[in-house]
Amino acid sequence: MSFINFAAREINCKIVYYGAGLGGKTTNLQHIFDKTVDKQKSKMISLATETDRTLFFDFLPLDLGTVRGFRTRFHLYTVPGQVFYDASRKLILRGVDGVVFVADSQEERMDANIEALENLQENLKEHGYDFKKIPYVLQFNKRDLPNIAPMEYMEFLLNNRDVQVPSFSSTAHKCEGVFETLNMITRMLLHKFVSQGTPQYA
Ligand SMILES: Nc1nc2c(ncn2[C@@H]2O[C@H](COP(=O)(O)OP(=O)(O)OP(=O)(O)O)[C@@H](O)[C@H]2O)c(=O)[nH]1
Ligand SMILES: [Mg+2]
């Protein structure tokens, strides 16, 4: 649903960070905001509860220069991970172009990760998207903690589209893996528009 505005020579893309509660979605956006955005021109919008849980969404507009003469703008959103905010998650997915799934690496969060992934698939389907085709990247976050599941196990559980998608380990609160993940999803989206065909990584 991204749109190319030929008159204004602009490409707009919507990227949604999805995943279980407290997985680190908002933390990803905060670091991207801190390190890239011209604070004079742009703002990150966060609607959070008093305890910093995302209530509705976070939104960060990101201008990434020009590609073949087109100005590229990425609109980054996070969903609220808490199970009972499903209506918000559904709404935020509307018009999505690419998804980053932020998984919590702690062993005790594997069920929550799987539930969130199933929820993503259902909600994409309701909007008429094919989960198997949408540009999609996985991030295994909180790799700094002691009680984490092995990467191979997380790949087995969560990286199960027909063709495996790119995945990154991260420690988002130290900004490790945050930009690697962002670079990949933006490359996938730009590739899609430049080639005007199916994305290479889908
Ligand atoms: N140890 C550790 N903590 C992290 C990491 N990434 C995020 N956190 C912390 O985890 C907590 C939750 O992070 P958020 O970014 O708010 O999580 P979220 O996915 O946006 O949560 P919801 O908005 O409820 O869906 C915060 O206290 C973060 O500082 C990480 O890589 N390692
Ligand atoms: Mg959040």
Query: Are 36 and 95 in contact, with CB atoms under 8 Å apart?
Result: no
148 lines ligand 1 (CB under 6 A): no
| Distance from C-alpha of 142 to C-alpha of 96, rounded to nearest angstrom | 26
**Ligand 1 pocket check for 24: Cβ under 6 Å:** yes
In the reported structure, the alpha carbon of residue 173 is separated from the centroid of ligand 2 by a whole-number distance in angstroms of: 13
C-alpha angle with apex 87: 166 to 125, nearest 5 degrees? 50
User: DSSP 3-state helix, strand, coil percentages of the chain (rounded to 5)?
Assistant: 35, 30, 35
One digit per residue, the tens of pLDDT, for the chain of length 202 reads: 567 778 888 889 999 999 999 999 999 999 999 888 676 567 888 887 777 787 878 888 888 888 778 888 999 999 998 888 899 999 999 999 999 999 999 999 999 999 999 999 999 999 999 999 999 999 999 999 999 999 999 999 999 999 999 999 999 999 999 999 999 999 999 888 777 643 344 3
